[in-house]
Amino acid sequence: MKDCEYQQISPGAAPPPASPGARRPGPAAPPGPGPGPPPPAAAPRWSSSGSGSGSLGRRPRRKWEVFPGRNRFYCGGRLMLAGHGGVFALTLLLILTTTVLFFVFDCPFLARQLTLAIPIIAAILFFFVMSCLLQTSFTDPGILPRATVCEAAALEKQIDNTGSSTYRPPPRTREVMINGQMVKLKYCFTCKMFRPPRTSHCSVCDNCVERFDHHCPWVGNCVGRRNYRFFYAFILSLSFLTAFIFACVVTHLTLRSQGSNFLSTLKETPASVLELVICFFSIWSILGLSGFHTYLVASNLTTNEDIKGSWSSKRGGEASVNPYSHKSVITNCCAVLCGPLPPSLIDRRGFVQADTVLPSPIRSDEPACGAKPDASMVENVPGRIKNPILLGAPVFMRSSQAEAATWLKPSLAPGRTP
């Protein structure tokens, strides 16, 4: 092989002589009338991929764009909804159709014949129902951020250290004492953490939700700690609105049919008949749902706990005392419906940091080790931590026991690990 030598050429040196067979360059083009303006520099473009936070060549991405759950976000991450919103659209269609038909075809007659208070009451109920529905649907129900890479690794290390020398896998449960009742914490393979008390993983939204009640397709969202009060107000006010419209439509048809045949009156008012049918088949389910959740609120229970029989003998086990009940109906109602609304733990509007490892999609039913951590999905909220349960211990591993008692209602005793 020939050795290659590199020489530094001075900028003022003459060009090397051309070889005999080399093609000589043609004559230079004559100069124009004047030197033209230099071409404009290309504007820096943001790349559609990458997780940069504002560097050239990368588009800054919001955290809602890389959210690991199955939720959909609107208005730049300000509003969130479940992945399947078809039933929610049907709910809006039924409410809007029934109310608009009532205001157009029934309220003018009732206002002339009876009182002007009927359309006013209906309007107040309608706006209250829509307000509660939208708040329930677009509010964060209490989603817990998934464990970061460091937290998941430390937790897996601790779980492995607690295992025995046999081939039996180490237990993935922890226990905490709440009001003298031992509560078992289950491990979530998707979120890579031990779920706090009353927390469950929603298989539809693929998120762990605090005080998980149920996933309601009619509102298009999970019902949890942060939107349960809006959900309860929605079904309660909707039952009043449905019963009010049903009674007013019956009154309208009765007054209009005086002196004529009732069947002919029904043929003349098809819109009122449609309202009557919708309200008749809806009122029973809505009233039953309102009564059931009134019982849950008075007992400080959730639908998930009632179905599983966590504090009763529904599954043949021994009945235990509900550790979250305050032994008073009024106190339970105030604690569930009037307590302070906790802040959201997911910073949807924040920017993804440049060194953040973006999570890859994973199914909630896959107990794989490569779960989707997102280190920056947590909002810097004073008094809160990134994950309420870390390394199998209660929240006061990072904060004081008094701070832990503020979210493990009504009280929390020091937890222990098996």
Q: pLDDT, tens digit, for every residue of 163-176?
A: 555 555 556 777 78
| Residue at 250 is within a domain | yes
| Residue at 226 is within a domain | yes
| Residue at 14 is within a domain | no
User: Looking at residue 249, what is its pLDDT?
Assistant: 94
DSSP code of residue 66: G
Q: Check 132, 191, 205, 216 and give the catalytic one.
A: 216
Give residue 215's domain range: 64-142+206-378
Say which residues have a Cβ less than 8 Å from residue 109's Cβ, sequence separation at least 6: 252, 255, 256
| Residue at 73 is within a domain | yes
User: Looking at residue 355, what is its pLDDT?
Assistant: 55
| Residue at 37 is within a domain | no
| Residue at 402 is within a domain | no
> How far are the Cα atoms of 56, 234, 237 from residue 122, in angstroms, in the given order?
56, 15, 11
d(CA 90, CA 48): 35
pLDDT tens digits for 288-314? 999 999 999 999 999 999 998 877 766
| Residue at 407 is within a domain | no
DSSP string, 183-222: EEEEEETTTTEEPPTT-EEETTTTEEETT--EEETTTTEE
User: Looking at residue 312, what is its pLDDT?
Assistant: 73
SS3 192: coil
Low-confidence ranges of the chain (pLDDT < 50): 1-13, 19-22, 26, 29, 32, 41-56, 358-418
User: Looking at residue 174, what is its pLDDT?
Assistant: 78
User: Looking at residue 8, what is its pLDDT?
Assistant: 43
- What pTM does this model have? 0.69
DSSP code of residue 214: E
**Is 222 one of the annotated active-site residues of the chain?**
no
User: Looking at residue 92, what is its pLDDT?
Assistant: 94
DSSP string, 107-137: HHHHHHHT-THHHHHHHHHHHHHHHHHHHHH
Q: How many Å separate Cα 414 from the centre of its chain?
A: 30
| Residue at 313 is within a domain | yes
The number of domains in the chain is: 1
Contact 136, 377 (CB under 8 A): no
User: Looking at residue 409, what is its pLDDT?
Assistant: 33
